[in-house]
Amino acid sequence: MARHQNIRNLDYEAELEEYGAFSDEEEEELSPEDQVRMREGTAQVLEALGVEAHKVPKTQIEESLWHYYWDVDKTITYLISKYIDPPKKPAKTAPPKTAPKQDAAIASASRQSFAHLFRDLPWGNIPPERQAVLIPPPQLPAGLLGGSGAPPKMSKLQQLAAARKKKAEEKSASGEVEQTQVKMTELTVNDNQASKENRPLAGVFGKRVKISETTAQGRIPLTMAEPTRPEIPQAQAPEATPSQHQEEDPIDPEPAVAPPKAQPSAFASTLFGPSSDSPKRRPREVFALPYMAISSYSPDAFGKPSPDDVVLAAQAKVATAGKKSANVHNKKGSSSADGVTNQVSQLKIDDTPLPKSRNLNVLSEFEKQKGKKTASFVVVGHVDAGKSTMMGRLLLDLNVVDQRTVDKLRKEAEKIGKTSFALAWVLDQRHEERSRGVTIDIATNRFETETTSFTILDAPGHRDFIPNMIAGASQADFAILVIDASTGAFESGLKGQTREHSLLIRSMGVSRIIVAVNKLDTVNWSQERFDEITHQVSGFLTATGFQPKNIAFVPVSGLHGDNLVRKSTDPAASWYTGKTLVEELEASEPSARALAKPLRMTISEVMRTPQSSISITGRIDAGSLQMGDALLVQPSGEKAYVKSLQVDDGEPADWAVAGQNVVLHLSNIDPIHVRVGDIVCDPAKPIQCVDTFTLKALAFDILMPMQVDVHRGRLHAAGKIEAIDAILDKVTGKVTKKKPMIVKPGTVSRVRVTLHSKVPLEAGQRVVLRSGGQTVAAGLLE
């Protein structure tokens, strides 16, 4: 068995018992001398008690003898009063009484001195096995033990016992003195800093002081005489050098170990002055903090970067810049903490050369190119309407994804028992989203037809994802509204999410909408059903603000691909002779591009790519940009440069214009200044950051001064409706009522909104107001 196992298996208690560690016998064992006294005393007591002796236990005789220091007379008196003839009345000279009840003791105490009272107590009814606990420590006054305040008359045996005690006391006292002297010696060594001017420095002692001095120079005021905060470089502050610990550690226990009454030796007095309570003595609180004197402590010490933070930041920066090592900083110790912080921030050395610009005239390049037109669309509709499946099928039929990919996805879908999800997964292949069964973000997917390059902004219809839908809609040229035509589904969907989505996309500036009446295969391609839905939805959309010429209806089956890219071959669908969904998409004119306006682009994604440590994606809302351009990121106000870029199809490009979705690879900017929802703009004509604005809003719910969340694209900001200035006429925009208390749903009004923080916003932008998870209004910034 290994040694440690042996140790682990030891039965410590058994072992200790064997060695008598728990035995009381050893503690109580009398010396041979005492044993003789005990024998003799017991014999005398038994003899004196005579026939009554049997009433007294032998152990009590011994205990009494022991406690009376072999005083046979007292022992006999006590034992008689206790066991043989307990007195009715307390006699003046009576031995200690039993006083079984506390009441009796109190009554007795009222008539007698306190000395009598205490005399009775120690031997009350305490069981013999516990009496040892009551053995008084030697330094206690004898009065408490002997039953009287006056020194008792001593027998020979008592004298012997007393002499023995005294000897022991002297021994322990001399031990304490020795200890004290040792401590005093330690004190003379440790306290060198306070009194160094008074004593010679030599040998090891001198060396220690030098180390301490070196340490102290840069960091620690060791006396209270130094009232101002030393010029401490924060980079050094937290480290306590070993020498410093040597100096400080022994100081702390000092007050605890010094005996209160001990007088310093003559040598110590010479060194320290008259006594340990001398006012010259250095106040202990100087050392209360390991690296900072109390006098220099400031309550705002934590308002700044911690010394550790500063050290780390300094080391990282200095290492990057290839400058001095952090050690150099640590040794300096002359600059202030603030100075170091400033220096660190000034160490921002970015030696990345600025990307070169080809100074192209982007607009004329765009005119020359005459490529395919580009269009982005958003897909909206309630959950399970079939949006993802339809888009997956579209990509499959347009050969954007191959059958093999779909088959693979179908196998994966089978594993979780949701085969029909395979097509939906084409749009978004991120695994964690698949396992959740929902797509949770805008997945941009592109496809091309002969005439147009399309970008799908997939916006799932789940209620929680409405902010994403707002972001998608804010970038879309037009929308596909997917409606589930299967029995009952349409009705429930129309009332809920479909209605809100339609309102939202219209409010976000989307003016063209293609309604895909989906899942017609489930109703056997019923034309009646299609017409019924068409009728209801067109009325509804017109009321929402879409013009009839901008609304198109296509009966489809997303799952089977009918009327998406190819016409349905199902005979039951032969009644439909109109355009396929793709033909409708191609017929949709993209909105006019704000090409000549200042650059504006909302950041949809921030990521690290092989091209750059910071790449951003988004759709250019206005203006144009090219490689090498300087950009301003708002609200951080930091500048960045376009190192390279990719446009819609992911191909590298030299320039991009409004309407295109781009990936910009940036340089010369710290990623912490770039966030999703920020706006990239022209540094010469930047977007302003505001915390208050006026909005011409269409109310979806009752509006009043209330807390709201403001959404613009991917930007979310908390704020509140500060005031309602006026109700406006829906058509003319004229004021119909000033300062209304509330605004009813469906009404257009002018509201003033304040935000909790400044965000980049400007006139002409569309924003949505939400409250309690509901969209309450949408409108145009004035």
Return the number of the residue (221 or 472) whose C-beta is nearest ligand GDP.
472
Return the number of the residue (579 or 675) whose C-beta is nearest ligand GDP.
579
Q: Is 386 in the site for ligand GDP (CB under 6 A)?
A: yes
Specify the length of the chain in residues.
Answer: 782
The three-class DSSP label of residue 778 is strand
Return the number of the residue (514 or 695) whose C-beta is nearest ligand GDP.
514
Dist. CA 339–CA 104, nearest whole Å: 79
The three-class DSSP label of residue 4 is helix
Return the number of the residue (429 or 522) whose C-beta is nearest ligand GDP.
522
Dist. CA 675–CA 677, nearest whole Å: 6
* Residue corresponding to tokens 């022992």: 75
Return the number of the residue (383 or 400) whose C-beta is nearest ligand GDP.
383
The least CB distance from residue 418 to ligand GDP, in Å, is 7
Q: Considering only residues 387, 501, 512, 529, which one is a binding residue for ligand GDP as defined by CB under 6 A?
A: 387
Return the number of the residue (403 or 707) whose C-beta is nearest ligand GDP.
403
Of 758, 778, 776, 681, nearest to 717 (Cα)? 758
**DSSP one-letter code for 256:** H
**DSSP one-letter code for 52:** G
The least CB distance from residue 428 to ligand GDP, in Å, is 10
Q: Considering only residues 64, 81, 236, 388, which one is a binding residue for ligand GDP as defined by CB under 6 A?
A: 388
What residues does 197 pair with on adjacent strands? Answer: none
| Contact code string over 526-565 relative to ligand GDP, x by CB under 6 A | -------------------------------xxx------
Q: Considering only residues 424, 457, 510, 703, which one is a binding residue for ligand GDP as defined by CB under 6 A?
A: 424
- Find out whether 33 and 156 touch, Cβ atoms under 8 Å: no
The least CB distance from residue 393 to ligand GDP, in Å, is 8
Return the number of the residue (268 or 378) whose C-beta is nearest ligand GDP.
378
Pairing between strand 373-380 and 478-484?
A: parallel
The least CB distance from residue 524 to ligand GDP, in Å, is 11
The least CB distance from residue 671 to ligand GDP, in Å, is 33
The three-class DSSP label of residue 306 is coil
| Contact code string over 448-477 relative to ligand GDP, x by CB under 6 A | ------------xx----------------
Q: Considering only residues 384, 441, 583, 725, which one is a binding residue for ligand GDP as defined by CB under 6 A?
A: 384
Q: Considering only residues 216, 237, 385, 515, which one is a binding residue for ligand GDP as defined by CB under 6 A?
A: 385
Return the number of the residue (519 or 770) whose C-beta is nearest ligand GDP.
519
Torsion sign over Cα 771, 681, 457, 540: positive
Return the number of the residue (220 or 385) whose C-beta is nearest ligand GDP.
385
Dist. CA 27–CA 14, nearest whole Å: 19
Dist. CA 46–CA 111, nearest whole Å: 33
The least CB distance from residue 474 to ligand GDP, in Å, is 20
Return the number of the residue (501 or 512) whose C-beta is nearest ligand GDP.
501
Of 563, 586, 558, nearest to 392 (Cα)? 558
Return the number of the residue (62 or 521) whose C-beta is nearest ligand GDP.
521
Contact segment (CB under 6 A) with ligand GDP among 91-99, 236-244, 299-307, 385-393 equals 385-393
The least CB distance from residue 455 to ligand GDP, in Å, is 18
Q: Considering only residues 84, 121, 160, 383, which one is a binding residue for ligand GDP as defined by CB under 6 A?
A: 383
| Contact code string over 129-168 relative to ligand GDP, x by CB under 6 A | ----------------------------------------
Dist. CA 754–CA 738, nearest whole Å: 20
Dist. CA 220–CA 242, nearest whole Å: 14
The least CB distance from residue 497 to ligand GDP, in Å, is 10
Dist. CA 501–CA 499, nearest whole Å: 5
Q: Is 521 in the site for ligand GDP (CB under 6 A)?
A: yes
Dist. CA 41–CA 233, nearest whole Å: 79
Dist. CA 441–CA 465, nearest whole Å: 8
Tokens of 396: 């499959």
Residue type for position 602: T
- Peptide bond before 635: cis, by omega within 30 degrees of 0? yes
Return the number of the residue (524 or 692) whose C-beta is nearest ligand GDP.
524
The least CB distance from residue 558 to ligand GDP, in Å, is 4
Return the number of the residue (570 or 638) whose C-beta is nearest ligand GDP.
570
Dist. CA 373–CA 454, nearest whole Å: 9
Please list, residue by residue across 89-99, b when 16 or more beta carbons sit within 10 angstroms of its beta carbon and e when fewer do.
ebeeebbbbbb
The least CB distance from residue 482 to ligand GDP, in Å, is 6
Contact segment (CB under 6 A) with ligand GDP among 172-180, 513-521, 630-638, 654-662 equals 513-521
The three-class DSSP label of residue 714 is coil
What residues does 581 pair with on adjacent strands? Answer: none
How distant, in Å, are the alpha carbons of 331, 597, 600 from that of 620? 52, 11, 6
Distance from CA of residue 300 to its chain's centroid?
Answer: 22
Burial class (CB in 10 A: 0-12, 13-18, 19+), 378: buried
The least CB distance from residue 562 to ligand GDP, in Å, is 8
By rule CB under 6 A, what count of residues binds ligand GDP? Answer: 19
Q: Is 428 in the site for ligand GDP (CB under 6 A)?
A: no
Pairing between strand 774-781 and 766-771?
A: antiparallel
Return the number of the residue (573 or 645) whose C-beta is nearest ligand GDP.
573
Contact residues: ligand GDP, CB under 6 A:
381, 383-389, 420, 424, 460-461, 518-519, 521-522, 557-559
